[in-house]
A and B are shown apart, each in its own frame.
Chain A
Amino acid sequence: MNLIPLFIALPLGAAFLLPILRYRNFDKQKTGQANPAVILGKWSKRTPDIVANLINLTLLVLSLMVINRGMLVYKMGGWEPFKGIPIGIYLVLDGLSVLMLLIINSIGFLAALYSVNYMEKYTDKTRYYTLFLLLIAGMNGVVLSGDMFNLFVFLEVAAIASYALVAFGTEAEELEAAFKYQVMGTVASGFILLGIALLYSFSGTLNMADIARIINQQGIQGTVLFVGALFIMGFGLKAAIMPFHAWLPDAHPSAPAPVSAMLSGVLIKAIGVYALVRILFNVLGLGETKSILYILMVLGIISMVAGALLALGQRDFKRLLAYSSISQIGYIVFAFGLGTPLGFLGGLFHLLNHATFKSLLFLNSGAIVYATENRDLEKMGGLLERMPVTGTTATIASMSIAGVPPLSGFWSKLIIIMAAIQAEQFIFALIAVLISIITLAYYLKVQRLAFFGKLGQAWKKTKEVPGLMCASMIILSLLCLGLGILLLPGIKSMILDPAVEVLKNGAQYANLILGE
Chain B
Amino acid sequence: MIYYLLSMLLFLIGLYGVLVKRNLIKIIIGLVLMEYATFLFLALVGYKKGGTAPIITKGFEKAVFVDPLPQALVLTAIVIGLATTALLVSIAVRIYQRYGTFDIREIRRLKG
- A residues adjacent to B (C-beta < 8 A): 149, 152-153, 156, 160, 163-164, 167, 170-173, 175-180, 182-183, 186-187, 189-190, 193-194, 197, 200-201, 206, 249-250, 254, 310, 313-314, 316, 319
Contact = CB atoms under 8 A, between A and B. Distances in A.
Nearest to A163: B87
B41 A194 contact: yes
A197 B38 contact: yes
B42 A197 contact: yes
B9 interface: no
A197 B84 CA distance: 20
A171 B109 CA distance: 11
Of A149, A164, A249, most buried by chain B (CB within 10 Å of CB) is A149
Interface in B67-83: 69-70, 73, 76-77, 80, 83
A170 B94 contact: yes
Interface string B90-101: 011011001100
A480 B55 CA distance: 57
A246 to B, nearest CB: 11
Given A187-B34, A193-B77, A160 B109 contact: no
A176 B80 contact: no
Rank and list the top 8 A-B pairs by shortest CB-CB distance, nearest first.
A172-B98, A201-B45, A190-B34, A197-B42, A156-B80, A250-B110, A193-B38, A186-B31
The secondary structure that dominates the A interface is helix
Nearest to B73: A149
A167 B70 CA distance: 33
The secondary structure that dominates the B interface is helix
Contacts of A149: 73, 76
A179 B15 contact: no
Contacts of A175: 91, 94-95, 98
Interface of B: 11, 14-15, 18, 24, 27, 31, 34-35, 38, 41-42, 45, 69-70, 73, 76-77, 80, 83-84, 87-88, 91-92, 94-95, 98-99, 107-110, 112
A175 B84 CA distance: 15
Nearest to A249: B112
A218 to B, nearest CB: 17
A21 to B, nearest CB: 23
A147 to B, nearest CB: 11
26 contacts: A153-B76, A160-B83, A164-B87, A167-B91, A172-B95, A172-B98, A175-B95, A175-B98, A177-B110, A182-B84, A182-B88, A183-B88, A187-B34, A189-B80, A189-B84, A193-B35, A193-B42, A193-B77, A194-B11, A194-B41, A200-B42, A200-B73, A206-B69, A310-B112, A313-B112, A316-B112
Given A176-B107, A197-B38, A314-B112, 4 more contacts: A163-B91, A167-B94, A179-B88, A194-B11
Contacts of B95: 172, 175-176, 179
Contacts of B69: 200, 206
Nearest to A185: B84
Nearest to A193: B38
Nearest to A206: B69
Contacts of A316: 112
Contacts of B31: 183, 186-187, 190
B92 A179 contact: yes
Contact of B87 (A153, A160, A200, A254): A160
Of A163, A176, A206, most buried by chain B (CB within 10 Å of CB) is A176
A133 to B, nearest CB: 16
Of A153, A167, A175, A314, most buried by chain B (CB within 10 Å of CB) is A175
B35 A190 contact: yes
B38 A178 contact: no
